[in-house]
């Protein structure tokens, strides 16, 4: 398998964690999101993914996009080390937690949106950072509310083994730390992040451990 | 089953389509997103969904949130009238199309974001509408690129029966039409939307057919 990735991309980071948890080897193809106006916007990469976003995963003659769709595919094609619980209600809970990050938080704060705020909209750097921290905190607060109230929360987001929800939580916390968002209001999120950080599969997926890290 | 819904919510609309396609009866519980500062922000609804977003689905003692997680749950618990293809690659394609709407497009243009632009950020109504149309067009262009190039596209997004991708496409096109975004650059999207509009399950899920329609 071949993964189009960027070391600091949250969405690529999720897929790297899932691949590592399942012990699946892959070739990393770095796509530099800032160099030359963004390699993801060049025709060569748009032919892979018309959305001009990373990641994309190539498996045989299939090219897959969207991090959660890729992880569900890995789950179906490599069911060992399951990243979803067995019961439908548990699966729905894990998917909802994952989407709280992957749909309600990260798309508001990713690179193309930040570039649009200061580019086309001409807003100040400071306004952009307020935007970033606002939506990041909103998302963290929802995650915390779910995780703190539900009996299904364990060492990880759902029970005592990592799931797709943890694959999403960890990159989001990385972003929070990078932009100095205080994690004190989100103690369950922070505790789960720390538990994940102990696991080699998560460590190997960390941006700083990537071949294209700067 | 009980569905917390708002007639014009894209995300609730997706779930209504899925319920109808599977022939599942449900009780609609309207949550008015504008009245009194938004019923979704009141404590009673936050106890159902801490994210203060619709939809939420109650099935027995399970309360489910996030439209795509809810539809996957319906697919697992009521597998007749499948909304995902059988093969892993096809399922990944359908999920990626769905996420192009549900993660990359709609969260940027939903009510809370539009209210943030003109509220906390103090931007003009016109700037808000430019924002709305920009991200809606970006999302439509990606959908169109995928649908126009892939041999798997049929009468619907994937083959000749509706899938989760169509459950997402139709509400997004409804939004585009409501805000007068020209669909001419997205002929495949428009063609599939028209095919869906012929189906009673889609018609019954339309905002204008809801008990809380205004």
- Check residue B36 and give its pLDDT: 85
Which DSSP letter does residue B58 get? Answer: E
**Residues of chain B positioned with their CB less than 8 A from the CB of A168:** none
How does residue B37 score in pLDDT terms, banded at 50, 70 and 90? confident
Whole-angstrom Cα distance, residue A15 to residue A67? 6
Nearest residue to B107 via CA among A10, A114, A103 = A103
Which has the closest alpha carbon to A96: A31, A17, A150? A150
Interface contact flag, B134 A145, Cβ < 8 Å:
no
Mean pLDDT along residues A92-117 = 97
Q: Pick the closest to residue A40 from A54, A29, A27 (CA basis).
A: A54
Give backbone dihedrals phi and psi of A56, rounded to 5 degrees, phi first. -135, 145
Tokens 């398998």 label which residue?
A1
Distance CA A65, CA A70 (A): 6
Give alpha helix (H) positions in B78-149.
88-102, 106-109, 111-118, 125-149
- Sign of CA pseudo-dihedral B151, B156, B160, B162: positive
DSSP string, A62-81: EEEESHHHHHHHHHHH--SS
B127-171 tens-digit pLDDT: 999 999 999 999 999 999 999 999 999 999 999 999 999 999 999
ipTM: 0.97
Q: What are phi and psi of A62, to 5 degrees?
A: -100, 135
pLDDT at position B97 over 90: yes
Spatial distance between the Cα atoms of B59 and A89, rounded to a whole number of angstroms? 9
Confidence (pLDDT) at A37: 86
Calpha distance A141→A110 (Å, rounded) = 18
User: Rounded distance, CA A168 to CA A109, Å?
Assistant: 14
Phi/psi of residue B88, nearest 5 degrees:
-60, -40
Q: Structural domains in chain B?
A: 2-81 (3.40.30.10), 88-202 (1.20.1050.10)
Q: Which residues contact B164 (CB under 8 A, 6 or more apart)?
A: B18, B68, B71, B72, B75, B83, B84, B94, B95, B98
CA B70 to chain centroid? 12
pLDDT at A158 over 90: yes
pLDDT given for residue A90 in this prediction: 98
* DSSP state letter for B35: G
Q: A164-178 and A187-197 helices cross at what angle (nearest 10)?
A: 110
B47-58 residue pLDDT tens: 999 998 999 999
What's the rounded mean pLDDT across residues A17-44?
A: 94
Q: So what's the pLDDT on residue A119?
A: 96
Nearest to B107 by CA among B170, B172, B164: B172
Looking up tokens 């500062």, which residue turns up?
A: B37
Chain B closest-CA separation from residue A176 CA (Å): 19
Q: How far is CA B32 from CA A68, A205, B27, B54, B111, in A?
A: 30, 42, 16, 10, 12
B114 vs A contacts (CB less than 8 Å): none
Task: At A99, list the tokens.
Answer: 């989407």
For A157-200, the DSSP string reads SSBTS--HHHHHHHHHHHHHHHTT---TT-HHHHHHHHHHHTSH
Q: How confident is the model at residue A213 (pLDDT cuts 50, 70, 90)?
A: very high
Contact B51 A102 (CB under 8 A): no
The nearest CA of chain A is from the CA of B35 a distance in Å of 22
Q: Any idea how long chain A is?
A: 214
Q: Check residue A36 and give its pLDDT.
A: 85
Q: In whole angstroms, what is the distance from residue A27 CA to residue A56 CA?
A: 12
In this complex, which of A66, A70, A76 lies closest to B100 when CB atoms are compared? A66
**The tokens of A206 are what?**
């960390």
Q: Do A116 and B134 touch (CB under 8 A)?
A: yes
Give the minimum alpha-carbon distance from A13 to chain B in angstroms, rounded to a whole number: 17
Cβ of A73 and B51 within 8 Å? no
Determine contact, residues B62/A152, Cβ cutoff 8 Å.
Answer: no
Average pLDDT for chain B: 96
């Amino acid at each position: 398998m071949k993964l189009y990735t960027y070391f600091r991309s949250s969405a690529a980071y999720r897929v790297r964690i899932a691949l590592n948890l399942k012990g699946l080897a892959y070739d990393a193809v770095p796509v530099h999101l800032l160099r030359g106006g963004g390699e993801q916007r060049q025709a060569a990469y748009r032919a892979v993914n018309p959305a001009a976003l990373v990641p994309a995963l190539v498996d045989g003659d299939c090219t897959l996009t969207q991090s959660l769709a890729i992880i569900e595919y890995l789950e179906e094609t490599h069911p060992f080390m399951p990243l979803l619980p067995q019961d439908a209600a548990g699966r729905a809970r894990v998917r909802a937690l994952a989407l709280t990050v992957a749909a309600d938080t990260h798309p508001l704060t990713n690179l193309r949106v930040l570039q649009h705020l200061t580019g086309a909209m001409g807003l100040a750097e400071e306004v952009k950072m307020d935007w970033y921290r606002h939506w990041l905190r909103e998302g963290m607060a929802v995650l915390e509310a779910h995780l703190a109230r539900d009996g299904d929360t364990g060492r990880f987001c759902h029970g005592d083994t990592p799931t797709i929800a943890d694959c999403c939580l960890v990159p989001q916390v990385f972003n929070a730390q990078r932009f100095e968002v205080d994690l004190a209001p989100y103690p369950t999120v922070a505790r789960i992040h720390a538990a994940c950080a102990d696991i080699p599969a998560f460590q190997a997926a960390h941006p700083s451990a990537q071949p294209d890290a700067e």
